Amino acid sequence: MSLLKSSKQLVEEANAKIKTLSVEGAKGRLADSNVVFVDIRDIREQEREGAIPNAIHAPRGMLEFWVDPESPYFRPVFGEDKQFILYCQSGWRSALATATLQNMGLTAVCHIDGGFNAWKDSDGEVVEKNKKEH
């Protein structure tokens, strides 16, 4: 099978047009009440690895629907006048998600370079997520 673009190319294209925060830059925004950290990882990743304190969970598969005020799945937090900082495990899904949200018209959105792995590697604060039955 031959693809028109690889996943790597898609991530590179997204990174070329979005804002990316360093881990240190993101850490500096953690206490800012005008910032919402958005964890787009699967719930199992959260349960296994933990999460950034006070981050909301918006699974990658539902993100566009939760952001769209016309969607039946809209989440009011995304209608607030806030800066949204997305993250995934490595920064690939969050780059694609940030580009998609920008394409939808959400301007105050960025992601963390290196994702949650980079956050943990820099001794960023992590909170445990309780496991639920799946």
pLDDT in tens, 88-134: 999 999 999 999 999 999 999 999 999 999 999 999 999 998 776 54
Structure confidence at residue 132 (pLDDT): 66
**Torsional sign, CA 39, 43, 49, 54:** positive
Instruction: Classify each residue of 106-116 as buried b or exposed e, where b means 16 or more C-beta atoms within 10 Å of its C-beta.
Output: eebbbbbbbbb
Q: Go through the domains of the chain in sequence order and give each one's CATH number.
A: 9-121 (3.40.250.10)
Q: What is the pLDDT of residues 48-86, one digit of tens each?
A: 999 999 999 999 999 999 999 999 999 999 999 999 999
Structure confidence at residue 130 (pLDDT): 78
pTM exceeds 0.85 for this model: yes
Structural element, H or E, at residue 67: helix 63-67
Structure confidence at residue 39 (pLDDT): 98
Between CA 58 and CA 39 the distance in angstroms is 6
Q: What is the pLDDT of residues 14-49, one digit of tens each?
A: 999 999 999 999 999 999 999 999 999 999 999 999
